[in-house]
Structure 1
Amino acid sequence: MNADDIAWAQATELRDLLVAGDVSAVEVATVFADRIEALNPQLNAYVYFDRSTVLADAAELDARRGRGEDLGPLHGVPYSIKCLTDVAGLPATLSLKPFVGRMAERDEVVAHRMREAGGLFLGLTNAPEAGYYGGTNSHLYGPTHNPWAHDHTAGGSSGGAAAAVAAGLSPLSQGTDGGGSVRIPASLCGVVGFKPSLGRIPQRITLSRSATNLFHGPLTRTVDDAALMYDVVTGPDSSDFLSLPAEPAIASAVRQTPERLRIAYSPDLGTGYHIDPEVASVVRAAAEAFSELGASVVEATPPWHDLEKAMWEGVWVPGYAGLRDAADWRSFRGEVDDNLIELVLASEKLTEVDFGRADVLRGMAYDAFETFMQDFDLLLSPTLTSAAFPLSQFAPSWVGPSVREQILGWLLTYPFNMLPMPAISVPAGFTSDGRPVGLQIAGRHLTDATVLASARAFETARPWQQNRPQMAV
């Protein structure tokens, strides 16, 4: 195999080649190390990468194979971890200048499971400060560029992870998703991003164990690869009392053609947000593929309301209140984003009544969705209201001026963080100037297999993995 064949191979294919001995882990490691060194200066997808460690780890994987030891399900397959996720002995800064020097004392569950499965750890990918918005830029690490459009956002907060996958710098990337942070960059970078049901993947993303909007999820180029990674990282762990038993053989289940499905298509999920006309057109055409697959597709939206208020006052501001005492934020202006400082300090003004009302709205949204989904198996929508926009902008140009509007007012992802349901973003097509557009597929709680299988059926009907950004190595 040549270097391009290795770099763009599906993780499932690469694993089979590695297990068969048709390619060595060192060969694979060398290809990805070379690509990271060549392309990362353009992208800034990785914020930590150590070539010598990657090659040494690969040599040990080859030695294990040579000794006839049992090989894990990811034997030699490269992967990255988002820099907001702890990897023992590596920086744990939350992309914040005030936290420079902090080191992780132990692996987060997902990081441990990826390594134990035989995966080849490549490095840490970029994220915004404390993962607070849907882009990737920070005073500490700088911006991640979109592989399809330089000087444009890669999305966030798992922007480095998505850019790495899109540019062929890792077949598997781990991301975290608190308001869409896996699906946002997946949509903008033209890759697959999956947020599972609550409890499927254990999380210690925050010290608070009451957070139910936070998820780990895979970013990959194909649904099969997302299912492979999902299989590895799911299952209970004592660190997360909400974690659930693993689903059996999900990677095999997603290959089964779904039965005739009842599908709702919503142009804006009832948010009332302006949708870029090109995005709306691309996603509507993508939804038609499900009719061709034999599904019944109708335009319909859950009868929920005040979603943005429920998210902002019931989830986002209370969640960032946990950072309030971590630093003297007012003294770090110029070294920390003003919008993040405003978000953290907004918790001082949020009353218990505000939070209680927002929490009621969140419960009402769950009830509305559950009632609505009695008539449907899946809900389709655009993932975002916009394709990638210039890095000079914090949000699309039409979004309102408040921090709340700038953070939430262009996302169609956060409703599924207030709810425990699975949701996936898959590439739906491109704008006329070549920027990717994502289709979001959501299902009922614990219907992860159905969501993944439906995404794979769409991928088969509208293949996208042959598309690659034009980047010179």
Structure 2
Amino acid sequence: MDDLTWEPAWRLREMMVAKEVSPVEVTEHFLRRIDKLESTLHAFITVDADGALKQAAAVEKKILAKEEVGPLAGVPLGIKDQFWTKGLRTTGGSLAFDDYVPEEDSVHAERMRSADAVILGKTNTPEFGLYPRTVNRVAGECRNPWDPSRTSGGSSGGSAAAVAAGMMPTAVASDGGGSIRLPAAYCGLFGMHPSSGRVPRHGSFGGSLTTSGVGPVARDVRDATIMFSVLAGQDPRDPSCVLIDPPDYLSELESGITGLRVGWTESYGWDGSAPGNAEYVAMARRAADRFAELGATVEAVDLDLGDNSWASHVLSGADRYAALGESIHQDPARWEKLTMYSAGTFAQASTTSAADYSRAVQKQFGARRRLTEAMEGYDLLLTPTTALPAQAATGLDTVGLDDPAANLAYYGFTEPINFTGFTAASVPCGFIDGLPVGLHVIGRPNDESLVLRASRAFEAAFPWADRRPDVAL
């Protein structure tokens, strides 16, 4: 049964459908993994063992009856605690919602259930996804499996830590400025942020209309592709969705990248995107050069999106305040339960004027145009995911003592992609001092298929999933 731990989700499904192992046995195995590692990593806010076993039994019944099963049949996974799950505690990482039990599923949980996945529980997140470390007042600070003294990143740190430690093969995550890609980079995983509107957002704690996206983290690009195929597609409850149906993401996954033109840059001309650690940049650059070995042409690109971090924060903060913060602000009992970082974000956003918001939107249009122009003649753009190692996990007491400019340097390569509405993924590309390093693969809006295909080609040539953190062994 130990062999199940590191099997990709697609292989686990094959084994269950072939009756080599039952969904209940698989679920029990991963629940034991959670029992073993949770006290060290704090990857979950809520574990639903009873519910997971019931879901697994239902899938097992369908398999034994030779009924058609979904693309994630019997696959145990986690859902970030920003997303509603019917009948299952959903906190948003906030003490203000510590006992909240939704009456409906988010579209993401709904689609996971329709695909016959088994939801093990809700993964750890900073309060409302508003901090680059997964630390809150509800659960212990989430730790990095590669070095438990460090953060797993934020805000999808729980999802990433759990997958990296073999507590499950894949998870649902979200990204408002790097919140999928940074934890993926820190934890040695593949993680993808979709282009704006490709995955609906209905049923979550106040994500940004203009910058947030929902996507997978996984140890295997094929797993992530299957997950994304389930997540993507319009929903009438989210009018911001792309109205074009998504393609078959699996059909071209193994097509390779021969003939593609790929650009490389080490700076967007964006606050914080200047390199922070030369070793991290050099490793990402070497990974970019390997795309040439796979048949692509790789060239350096000059890119200047402008210093738009202010505008990005205005849009994100105002959207979140309108969706959630304002109602909490009007409820003193809930407001006093907020972390310093959430209260500060909402308080600042409450002062945003209509003129400020409009100016930020104009900045967004300009940055989107410049990135579109820079990618003319290129199929993909590559950068480091981040040029800095994971921060120390120093607890909630140190929040607010961080240097804002230093924090910005962590997500200076990822935030502009959210701001412009493009798509991007982080792909593992090596290790420095025992810590994973990520390569950032950027595609045009709605070109997730090419990002997945390129990531798969890199994975096939330079596999990463066979290296595992000591804490998980």
Task: Give TM-score, length-normalised by structure 1.
Answer: 0.93
Between 1:233-242 and 1:105-114, the stretch displaced more is 233-242
- Name the structure 2 match of 1:270: 269
Q: CA deviation at 1:365?
A: 0.3
Flag the 1:206–1:56 CA change in 2: closer, same or farther, 3 A. Answer: closer
Cα RMSD between the aligned structures?
2.3
- Report the CA distance between 1:274 and its aligned residue: 4.0
Given the alignment of the two structures, is residue 381 of structure 1 paired with residue 379 of structure 2, yes or no? no
Q: Distance in 1 between matches of 2:410 and 2:331?
A: 27
Would the aligned equivalents of 2:269 and 2:307 in 1 still touch at CA under 8 Å?
no
Against the structure 1 CA distance between its residues 137 and 293, is the aligned structure 2 distance closer, same or farther, given a 3 Å change threshold?
same
Residues 264, 297 of structure 1: 8 Å contact kept: yes
Distance in 2 between residues matched to 1:170 and 1:43, nearest whole Å? 14
Which amino acid in structure 2 is aligned with residue 256 of structure 1?
A: S
Change over 3 Å in CA distance of 1:52–1:312 after alignment to 2: closer
Deviations 1:362-384 (A, max 9, x none): 11000101111112111101111
Residue 440 of structure 1 and its aligned partner are, at CA, apart by 0.6
Query: Are the counterparts in 2 of residues 76 and 119 from structure 1 also a CA contact under 8 Å?
Result: yes
**Which residue number corresponds to residue 225 of structure 2?**
227
Aligned to 1:454: 454
> Do the aligned residues in 2 keep the contact of 1:10 with 1:221 (CA within 8 Å)?
yes
2:468 alignment partner AA: R
Do the aligned partners of 1:133 and 1:407 also contact (CA within 8 Å) in 2? no
Q: Is the 8 A contact 1:321 1:345 kept in 2?
A: no
CA distance in 2, matches of 1:237, 1:390: 39
Which residue in the other structure is 2:470 paired with? 470
Q: How far apart are 1:15 and its partner, in Å?
A: 1.1
1:100 corresponds to which of 98, 101, 124: 98
The answer to whether the 8 A contact 1:205-1:214 is kept is no
1:257 aligned residue: 256
CA displacement 1:33-53 (0-9 Å, x = unmatched): 110111111111011113233
For residue 332 of structure 1, report the CA deviation from its aligned partner.
7.1
Show structure 1 runs of 5+ residues with no match: none
- TM-score (normalizing by structure 2): 0.93
Tell me which stretches of 4 or more aligned residues in structure 1 moved more than 4 Å. 205-210, 328-335
Distance across 1 between alignment mates of 2:215 and 2:371:
22
Separation of aligned partners in 1, 2:190 and 2:205: 28
Are the counterparts in 2 of residues 10 and 225 from structure 1 also a CA contact under 8 Å? yes
Query: Counterpart of 1:306?
Result: 307
Contact 2:128 / 2:205 at 8 angstroms: preserved in 1?
A: no
Take 1:451 and 1:159, find their aligned partners in 2: how far apart are those partners? Answer: 22
Matches within 5 A, 1:284-363: 284-322=285-323, 323-327=325-329, 335-363=337-365
Give 1:461's aligned amino acid.
A
* Distance in 2 between residues matched to 1:317 and 1:173, nearest whole Å: 28
Equivalent residue for 1:125? 123
Separation (CA, whole Å) in 2 of partners of 1:202 and 1:380? 26
Partner-residue secondary structure (3-state), 2:302: coil
Question: Residues 229 and 358 from structure 1, CA distance in 2 versus in 1: closer, same or farther, beyond 3 angstroms?
Answer: same
Amino acid at match of 2:55: D
1:279 aligns to 2:280 (yes or no): yes
For the 8 Å contact 1:314–1:356, the answer to whether it is kept is: no
Name the aligned partner's letter for residue 297 of structure 1. V
The 10-residue stretch of structure 1 (405-414 or 322-331) with the greater mean CA deviation from structure 2: 322-331
Alignment partners' CA distance in 2, 1:332 and 1:55: 34
2:445 is aligned with 1:445: yes
Matched residue count: 466
- Report the CA distance between 1:66 and its aligned residue: 1.2
Instruction: Give the partner amino acid of 1:354.
Output: D
SS across alignment from 1:251: coil
Deviation larger for 247-256 or 215-224: 247-256
After TM superposition, list the pairs within 5 Å mapping 1:206-225 onto structure 2: 211-225=209-223
Q: Report the Cα distance in structure 1 between the residues aligned to 2:276 and 2:259, rounded to whole angstroms.
A: 30
> Is the partner of 2:328 in helix, strand or coil?
coil
For 1:400 and 1:29, the matched residues in 2 are separated by: 40
The Cα of 1:286 is off from its aligned counterpart by: 0.8
**3-state secondary structure, aligned to 1:375:** coil
Structure 2 CA distance for aligned equivalents of residues 57 and 333 of structure 1: 36
**Cα distance in 1 between the residues matched to 2:441 and 2:219:** 16
TM-aligned CA deviation for residue 400 of structure 1 = 7.5
SS at 1:252's partner residue? coil
Shift of 1:192: 0.7
Q: 2 CA distance for matches of 1:317 and 1:392?
A: 29
One-letter code of the match for 2:226? Answer: L
- Residues 206 and 170 (structure 1), Cα distance of their counterparts in 2 relative to 1, 3 Å cut: closer
- Listed as ranges, the gaps of 5+ residues in structure 2 are none
Cross-structure match for 2:81: 83
| In 2, Cα distance between equivalents of 1:303 and 1:218 | 29
Change (3 A) 1:210 1:30: closer
Change beyond 3 A, Cα 1:163–1:248? same
Q: Deviations over 1:227-263 (max 9, x none)?
A: 0111112222111123234433212221111341111
* Contact 1:173/1:219 (<8 A) preserved: yes
AA paired with 1:248? Answer: P
Q: Distance in 2 between matches of 1:329 and 1:138?
A: 20
Name which of 139, 142, 156 aligns with 1:141.
Answer: 139
| Kept in 2: contact 1:429–1:437 (CA 8 A) | yes
Do 1:400 and 1:409's aligned partners in 2 also have CA atoms closer than 8 Å? no
Equivalent residue letter for 2:392 = P
Q: Distance in 2 between matches of 1:52 and 1:101?
A: 18
Alpha-carbon distance in 2 for matches of 1:409, 1:316:
19
Question: Residue 325 and residue 302 in structure 1: after superposition, are their counterparts in 2 closer, same or farther (change >3 A)?
Answer: same
Q: Offset of 1:71 from its aligned partner?
A: 1.3
8 Å CA contact 1:183, 1:413 repeated in 2: yes
C-alpha separation between the residues in 2 aligned to 1:19 and 1:91?
31
Q: Which segment drifts farther, 363-372 or 239-248?
A: 239-248
SS at match of 2:250: helix
- Aligned with residue 195 of structure 2, among 178, 182, 197: 197
Contact preservation (8 Å) 2:23, 2:74: yes
1:209–1:38 Cα change, 3 Å: closer
Letter in 2 for 1:391: A
Answer yes or no: is the 8 Å Cα contact 1:264–1:301 preserved in 2: no
Where 2:459 maps in the other structure, the secondary structure is helix
C-alpha contact 1:289 1:461 (8 A) present in aligned 2: no
**Do residues 436 (structure 1) and 442 (structure 2) align?**
no
8 Å contact from structure 2 (residues 93, 125) kept in 1 = yes
SS in 2 for 1:68: coil
